[in-house]
Structures are given as structure tokens and as C-alpha cells.
Amino acid sequence: MTSQNRREPITSRDEIRGEAAAGERSAGRARLWADDAEKHRQYRARRRERERLIEELLHAVRNADFEDPALQKRISGGDDADILRALIEHYRARYWMLQYRQPNERSR
């Protein structure tokens, strides 16, 4: 039934029949957190986990052997930001190089 064929009059939101009691949320997505403090605790926990994983990644990269001597040199002598930049540049170039690779060429 379209809105033009309805017999009920157009009403404002507060006049809608069967609306939830005052103070209750009836529309929208359910809340994931009990309150803002819980939301911030979860955010800080996710951030700590991400930082821990980045530290583990940097440790693994520093101990890895790369075929590219220039990349190995940048990683060996750089600080955390330099290492991450070198990895980003390396993998972006590697990804974009795939479109120019010959079909019989293997992935490195």
C-alpha cells in the first residue's frame, strides 16, 4: 500500500502509535557499549593491541633477510618510521609491477 492510499493521517514522530516508552531507544543500531567509558576502554585496548602487533612486525622485519640489498640497507639502518616507509614503498612497487610481469614469470 502506498502512502497515498493509506487511510491513516500523516503524523509527527511523537504521535506514532505503539512508540517505545520515553527514554528507550527504538530506532537505529543497538549500542555496543554500556556507556562512553566502556567505549573508550575498548578503543584503548584495540589501540594497544595494534601497537603491540606493529612492534612485533618491526622486530620480525629487522631480523628478516631481503633479496633486495637496497631495501635491506634501509631497514637495517632506519628507525621505525623509515622501516615502515621502506616496506610501504617496496610492496606498493611490487603490487603495481604485477601488471607488467610476463605470464611465465613467477612471483617473487
* Dihedral sign of CA atoms 87, 89, 95, 101 in order: negative
Q: How far apart are CA 103 and CA 14, in angstroms?
A: 65
**pLDDT tens digits for range 17-44:** 555 555 566 677 777 878 889 999 999 9
Let me know: does 58 contact 83? Beta carbons within 8 Å.
yes
Percent of the chain topping pLDDT 90? 41
pLDDT value at residue 30 = 77
Q: What is the mean pLDDT of residues 60-79?
A: 91
Torsion of CA 77, 81, 82, 84, to 10 degrees: 110
Here the cell at position 28 is 537505529
As a whole number, the mean pLDDT across the chain is 79
Predicted TM-score (pTM) above 0.85: no
Cα separation, 76 vs 44, in Å, equals: 31
